Amino acid sequence: MNKMKIKLFGLGLSFLILSSCVSESDYKKLEGEKEDIERRLKETEQELSNLTYEYNLLIEEKRQAEIERNRIPYISEEQALRYIKDNYAFYDKDIKYRNVQLRRIADNSFKVSLEECTKKGPFSSDDFFWSSIVRTLTVYNNGKYNLKYDL
């Protein structure tokens, strides 16, 4: 009886081993699918790496554009004098000015000391009609400017 049990046990074990095996064609098919999945994973990783690189480039370009847009222009004294001349030629036509002195307070800003005469006529060169004032010239990065009176 023990021999019979041993034979049955051996037969059962052999059946289990053989039934749990995968055929060679199925194994090769699964191996091919695994290689295909690994290849697609590598391609996807490369695409992700490329997209990340391009994204970082775009972020840097946006940051540089923002820096450039907010950059304060450097204005020379000659340019400042042209802005002052433009202001009095267009906005303050009825006011004469003279003795312009500039003091830089920033790359794009000056304190402007000058004398103004609000009376035009034969006596406008007389010292009596001239008064000294201080204004602040600020030039913005878009080319616009402001020449405001200091209080």
As a 3-state breakdown, the chain gives helix, strand, coil percent values, each rounded to 5, of 55, 25, 25
**Phi and psi angles of residue 98, each rounded to the nearest 5 degrees, phi first:** -160, 175
pLDDT at 21: 65
Closest listed residue to residue 83, CA positions, set 133, 131, 144: 144
Residue 131 has a pLDDT of 84
- Tell me: the pLDDT tens digits for 130-142? 788 999 999 998 8
CA distance 34 to 27: 10
Q: Where are the domains of the chain?
A: 23-71, 77-149
d(CA 27, CA 86): 86
> Which residue type, as a one-letter code, is found at position 122?
P
Global pTM? 0.54
Q: Enter the tokens of residue 12.
A: 């059962």
User: SS3 for 71?
Assistant: coil
Looking at residue 94, its pLDDT comes to 82
In Å, how far from its chain's centre is CA 9?
Answer: 76
CB 123 within 8 Å of CB 132: no
Long-range contacts of 125-134 (CB under 8 A, 24+ apart): 130/98
Low-confidence ranges of the chain (pLDDT < 50): none
* pLDDT on residue 53: 94
